[in-house]
Homo-oligomer: A and B are copies of this chain.
Amino acid sequence: MRIKLNIGLFGFGVVGSGLYNVLNQSKLLDASISAIVVKDPTKKRDAPSSLIHFDKDIILKDSNTNVVVELINDSEAAYEIVKSALASGKHVVTANKKLIAEHFEELITLSRANNVSLLYEAAVGGSIPIIRNLEEYYNNDTLSSVQGIVNGTTNYILTQSNQGVSYEVALKKAQELGFAEAEPTLDVDGFDSKYKLVLLIKHAFGVLSQPDEVYNYGIRHLKPQDVNYALEKGYRIKLFSRAEKLEDGIAGFVAPHFVGPEHSAYRVNDEFNAVIVEALFSDKQLFIGKGAGSYPTASAVLSDISALQFDYRYEYRKSDAEQSGKLISDYYLKVYVGSENEENVKNFPFTEVDEAFKSKGYNYQTGYVKFSDLQRINLNKSADLSLIVLPEPLFSEKSEQGVLLKNKLNFAEIN
């Protein structure tokens, strides 16, 4: 049975107006936009003026409107709109990852209490249907990891960097192309990637994490020397949002990673996104699609609206299961750490150093670091220190490799 959708739309930028046109043309979608609420009364808009309003209550207090599509930039205003919509029994479709990540529990509770859907496929991976696949297809306990490039802006900048363009020039290009904001912190320091990771962790492993709990380190401080190291070793640098099931729980963080040519993400360039899902049996599943931009967003919003026709809602099945787990910090990863200042590299809390390189201009070391030690360093604020994760598996203290490393340390301490 199809539900007839009367949509109240907040925001009428490129995404909103594209959506409006498609909904008018679609024969399969029994959905129409009954009101559009925008902020600026002076802008000319490509929709009948009878639909355009400036008071949010035109939508929120209209009992015929059963769906709110929220596509505005201001995430505080969006929060109020979404809360009010859910509370008044309207389904909500949004693309706002910050909003969801910061108010996850409250919004899920609110949507359940009011027996309505809250869908946000557009919030992660642009046009890649990753939330839906985690929710529906990987809803059993065989999933072992979800990771990928989920921020088009930084991937564009890194693609430029990998070709020898400096960070500053690449950022400027990204800003000119509309991929990056004038104030780029959310993207380049990995906050946007982190909000998305919070959503992925919830749907992949049933674990609700606060954005503050999830470590994010971006690409702002990567140096040409780090890119050179990558080139020498045949790597490229990619900013990964990474969540993995280890013995005791879920490891989850955002950081730049070296990837070699055999890695699925090696050739995922520019504004493209890629998500790699690993599950028992299925090996690696790779999803690639356009990440940044209005069209990918509209595409995901459209699929959410389409799903609402059939009363679709996220079930968060893993969250309800007993073994939903928790975020952990007592695991190891292998990293590269570089700095112009030798002391910075020496003082880095390596558990074990593998290689060390010194020169007048630049210094680096590679080796293992315990994640809880890394967590204490605010790398986004450490302009003279670069860290890039090397392509080796994470391992927990309890794993074979973890025990070996520990024994080695104990032995060293005894001697």
Contact = CB atoms under 8 A, between A and B. Distances in A.
Interface string A119-157: 000000001110011001111111000000000000000
A242 interface: no
A28 B137 contact: no
A138 B133 CA distance: 12
A322 B30 CA distance: 13
A287 interface: yes
Contacts of A302: 140, 142, 281
A382 interface: no
Contacts of A286: 286-289
Nearest to A284: B289
A228 interface: no
Contacts of A298: 281
A140 B303 contact: yes
A204 to B, nearest CB: 13
A18 interface: yes
Given A136-B307, A286-B287, A281 B22 contact: yes
B282 A141 contact: no
A285 interface: yes
A289 B137 CA distance: 14
A213 interface: no
Contacts of A318: 28
A29 interface: yes
Interface string A318-347: 100111000000000000000000000000
B139 A281 contact: no
A264 B267 CA distance: 10
Contacts of A11: none
A168 interface: no
Contacts of A287: 285-287
B22 A322 contact: no
B288 A288 contact: yes
21 contacts: A18-B281, A22-B142, A22-B281, A26-B141, A27-B141, A27-B323, A127-B281, A127-B285, A128-B285, A129-B137, A132-B133, A136-B136, A137-B303, A137-B307, A140-B303, A281-B296, A281-B302, A282-B289, A282-B296, A283-B295, A283-B299
Interface of A: 18, 22, 26-29, 127-129, 132-133, 136-142, 264, 267, 279-290, 295-296, 298-300, 302-303, 306-307, 310, 315, 317-318, 321-323
Nearest 4 A/B pairs, CB to CB: A282-B299, A281-B299, A127-B282, A286-B288
